Amino acid sequence: MLNQYPWWKSLLIGLVGVIGLLYALPNLFGENEAVQISPARAAVTVDQALYERVEKTLKEKNISIKAMELDTVQRRLLVRFQDPEAQLKAADLLKETLGRDYVVALNLAPATPAFLRALGLRPMYLGLDLRGGVYFLMQVDMNAALKQAEDAYVDDVRVLLRDEKIRYVTVDRTVGGGIRVSFKEAAERDKASALLKQKLRNLQLGEIPDSLDLKLALSEQEIKEKRDLALQQNLTTLRNRINELGVSEPLIQRQGADRIVVQLPGVQDTARAKEILGATATLEFRLVDTDHEAREIETSGRAPVGSRLYHDRQGRPVLLQKRVMLTGDYIADAASGLEQQNGQPAVFVTLDSTGAKRMEEGTKDNIGKPMAVVFIENKTETRLVDGEPRKSSYKVEEVISVATIRDRLGKRFQITGLDTEEARNLALLLRAGALAAPVEIIEERTVGPSAGQENIDQGKRSAYIALVLIWGFMWFYYRQFGFISGVALLFHVILIIAALSLLQATLTLPGIAGIVLTMGMAVDANVLIYERIREELKLGNTPQAAIHAGFERAFGTILDSNITTLIAAVLLFFLGSGPVKGFAVTLTLGTLTTIFTAVTFGRAIINYFYGGRRLEGLSV
């Protein structure tokens, strides 16, 4: 019979509808202001003791808690609050109380009920203009960048003097900046002065009165270039790290001479974002000093010449040689995974050609000796001193792995001794590259809409008004068929929201515009079908034949028009950026759902009410 779907097709359409409703449902519950607490290093635990400590601390200060969630698998504690004021007070208090052991970050936590979360259902992300994301203002430590440049020149000066067999006493950086080269003989100083003027033209060379020393300083041009290079390299590195985090439509841009603005729409795990963005992690490979006992050195407090005392992640002392075999600067690629022998987490490292040569030279004569991997990270903390916030920097140096060199190492090797999350984060940092200079997050907030709450309300209002007006017009003009098209239109919007939630895409204000546009396009498909039905009725066809012909003959036109729109939307997505991409995402999803709702879902409703019956006429 005409206009009747087989049972399996009706069941399939109903199943799509139920799945769409389920995935769209979490978006009804909004978000809670929250503070997320996670460990700063592997040895720190997140357990019931931390839960009780945080709860007690907040209650003592009369800060109201909405809910607390302890997740021992992801190693985090999430504390929800009623309003932003309580959230900010709690964050400041917990940072001061917990100290360096934990990362305390602001968060917007979805208020999705537990039974939906248990099903793996999550709301879609909202862009920064729709209250959902993280804003960081980061300051680049330019003094550190210049210090690194001077340290590099110190090594260059030493190599040049040794190669030319010029005798010197010391080559070191001075406290106020610059490099001081000491000599015992004036003749050696003069030979060095002529050599350095010829080879290191970017340095300003001068003599120090009443001494046989030379002073080297960076020129103004060199300082400017080093500052600009540090900022540009940090921008590139941050972009790489954000790409690794999988953030859609991020904004990373320079602000002034030494600041970088980072906006991460849709990010909810702000603690990890903060940890990854601010980290200046690198690695050093050093041989273990096996001639001395590390515990005895720790007790005496005096390390032998040429060695230095470190500690591993469990706090145990490890004595290493001062000479660095290799640094993380030579790492070309890194990936986390599981090693084949015992299935432990590992980071698989690939060196560039220079690094591979250095590693080979460093290990070929040390087979059978233990080598350590030192993880180095610069951090910044803020403490209140006499009521004023004071920032200070400190360095974390930990031995993460000690292994015996079994064979000559080359271009590829692996690092073990980490847990799964640490291996993943370390691989990300090494793969994205090191920051040229440390960055300090001087402002952090979970962002409200960039254009104000009014934009959110107007965006929602425009979608509601568009839905009501289109539905009303169709109902008035096409009567019962028009009402059915309104039901299909509502389902069309639900499917778009469900698709955004399923893909964990980010909805922006331009994205709302894309949804409103596709609402009109979806109804346009219904108009083509209904006008075709009217024409068939005027030609004298029966109502059932008119319905069948209307859907069948209008389908080709609908498909052609939506394919051309889809091509334009895809081009916008790949060639556009920022808000344009947000618009392209919803336009693409809306175009795809239009075909389904207007042709398949709409016809299923019409088949249910009109199919297989003797009809005298149609309300169209």
Give the C-alpha separation, 404 to 167, whole Å.
38
pLDDT of residue 267 exceeding 80? no
Q: Which two tokens stand for residue 259?
A: 């600041």
Question: What 3-state class would DSSP assign to 54?
Answer: helix
What percent of the chain has a predicted confidence (pLDDT) above 70? 89
Give the C-alpha separation, 246 to 338, whole Å.
22
Rg (CA), the chain: 33
Average pLDDT (146-174) is: 83
pLDDT of residue 451 exceeding 60? no
CA nearest to 433, candidates 352, 337, 338, 356? 352
Residue 25 pLDDT class (50, 70, 90 cuts): very high
What is the CA angle 437-440-445, rounded to 5? Answer: 145
Burial track 46-79 (b if 16+ CB lie within 10 A, e otherwise): beeebbeebeebbeeeebebbebebeeeebbbbb
pLDDT of residue 434: 61
Which ranges constitute the DSSP H helices of 164-219?
A: 186-199
pLDDT of residue 501 exceeding 80? yes
Where do the domains of the chain lie, and which CATH numbers do they carry? 7-25+451-610 (1.20.1640.10), 31-110 (3.30.70.260), 143-222 (3.30.70), 281-420 (3.30.1360.200)
Give the C-alpha separation, 416 to 410, whole Å.
17
pLDDT of residue 296 exceeding 70? yes
Question: What 3-state class would DSSP assign to 522?
Answer: helix
Residue 432 pLDDT class (50, 70, 90 cuts): low
pLDDT of residue 23: 93
pLDDT of residue 54: 93
Residue 119 pLDDT class (50, 70, 90 cuts): confident
Give the C-alpha separation, 342 to 405, whole Å.
18
Task: Specify the DSSP element, H or E, that contains 120.
Answer: none
pLDDT of residue 28 exceeding 60? yes
Average pLDDT (158-176) is: 84
Which ranges constitute the DSSP H helices of 172-314?
A: 186-199, 220-245, 270-278, 294-300
Task: Specify the DSSP element, H or E, that contains 441.
Answer: strand 439-446
How far is the first Cα of the chain from the last one, in angstroms, to the nearest whole number? 21
Can you spell out the DSSP letters for 329-351?
GGEEEEEEEE-TTT--EEEEEEE
Give the C-alpha separation, 332 to 507, whole Å.
35
**Which residues on adjacent β-strands are paired with residue 412?**
350
Residue 164 pLDDT class (50, 70, 90 cuts): confident
What is the CA angle 416-420-426, rounded to 5? Answer: 70
pLDDT of residue 22 exceeding 90? yes
